[in-house]
Copies of this chain bind each other. A is one copy, B any other.
Amino acid sequence: MSKKTYTISELASEFDITTRAIRFYEEKGLIQPAREGRKRVYSTADRARLTLILRGKRIGMSLDESMEIIAMYDPDHGNRDQLKELLGRVQERQLSLQTQLEDIQATLESLNDVEQRCRKALGQHDQQGEL
User: What is the interface of chain A, defined by CB distance below 8 A to chain B?
Assistant: 55-61, 69, 72-73, 75, 80, 83-84, 86-87, 90-91, 93-94, 97-101, 103-108, 110-112, 114-115, 117-119, 121-122
Distance between A117 CB and nearest chain B CB, rounded to angstroms: 8
- Give chain B residues whose Cβ lies under 8 Å from the Cβ of A61: 60
Classify the secondary structure of A's interface with B: helix
Distance between A68 CB and nearest chain B CB, rounded to angstroms: 11
- Report, nearest first, the 6 A-B pairs whose CB atoms are least far apart: A60-B60, A87-B118, A55-B103, A72-B114, A59-B103, A58-B103
Given contacts A86-B118, A87-B119, A111-B93, contact A106 B55 (CB under 8 A): yes
- Give chain B residues whose Cβ lies under 8 Å from the Cβ of A59: 59-60, 100, 103-104, 107
